[in-house]
Amino acid sequence: GTFAPKRSGESFWHMFDRWRVIFDQQYLERAWWTGLVEPSIQPVEASDGRLGWEANEPATENSVTKYTSGQEFTVGASVSTEKAAEASVEYTISNETEREIPDWGVSSVTAGNAISWFFSSRNCDPRWGSEGGSGWESSCFDIGFGKPGTPNLPNDLARGQNEFHASARWVTMRDGKEALLTGAEGKLGFRVRSPVQLIDTYCENWGLAACAADKHRIDRDLSGPDVAVYTVDVGDVLPREIESVKLSPNPADGSQADDVTGTVTLDEPVPFETTLSVFSNEDQAVVGTPLSDKVSRARVTIPAGSSTGTFKVQTNDNNLAKGQHITATITVFYAGVPHPQRLCVVTRAGDTCTS
């Protein structure tokens, strides 16, 4: 979200105005500046029982200059091959970004499925609450021996455009267990709030040489957009079921470098372009980018409105003698669920693999 406490071309009210006090001029008021942004997202009551919180970023208290937004998590599984060995494959989803917030900080105040953060100024920290709170005056006012006790100038971010980033992740549930939700059950609502506290720090009464010690004041004004409710149909977001994975030709002649076409068919068309991961555990059946001396990976794209996608497997007879064969496990992953198929690679036309 983005927020600035003034419109383009406008000046702050009483941010840089000086008042004459006895024989001097002082800055008696700093108003208005952005002190606290409290973005939150929470499932509506009817959806809360169908969701389980997994993670949110920023997750905990960060430093006053940097925080991390976005998520990173790994999907993986192990599948058995014909040789009783296991081929472990995994992939990582990540959109993590480190962001700068000079003289500010952020803390997570998440509770259950309700996700919330405090992004707040730190040279005058509004989280300390009403005037007189611990540390409040010393951070918001220029106090001490020989000091005028006037309000400090807010930091640059508090006086300019404030941009914040955050993310959250839930898993869908049914009867307390993880489940894919479809139809009416898959329509989930989320309530989003982004209240912004504008701050006015001022001296209510000037003494002979300084602002009276008991006259430091802070006023707040709540601004920001209205509460909004968004509906997400996770029946569209979450994957369809894989109906079949077929390989043709199978067996394939590695001595002729046969190209094998893999066809993935879902049980329903997808509402938007969808990408699946494909792995092979043998170097005689290469699907794409090598991940090790044997394992390779590719991706299958299923266009919006379609239920099928294809991929290629390039075979070879490397390290195989004439008459030998090998069985590769070609595994399609969708939402972390493996769908393995065996591909027989021979070195002589007409041969087959025995299982």
pLDDT tens-digit profile of 209-262? 788 778 888 888 888 888 999 998 887 665 678 899 999 999 999 999 999 999
pTM score, two decimals? 0.57
Name which of 355, 350, 343 is nearest 323 in CA terms. Answer: 350
Domains of the chain in sequence order = 2-65+101-234 (no CATH), 239-346 (2.60.40.10)
Collapsing DSSP to helix, strand or coil, 5 comes out as: coil
pLDDT in tens, 290-327: 988 889 999 999 998 999 999 999 999 998 888 889 99
A 10 A CB-CB count for 290 gives 13
Distance CA 97, CA 334 (A): 26
Q: Are 81 and 88 in contact (CB under 8 A)?
A: no
CB-hemisphere CA count at 13 Å for 186? 13
Q: Which residues pair with 219 in a beta bridge?
A: 200
pLDDT in tens, 118-154: 888 887 887 765 444 445 677 888 888 888 888 888 8
Pull the structure tokens for residue 11: 């000046």
Token pair listed for 12? 């702050």
Could you give the 3-state DSSP secondary structure of residue 183?
Answer: helix
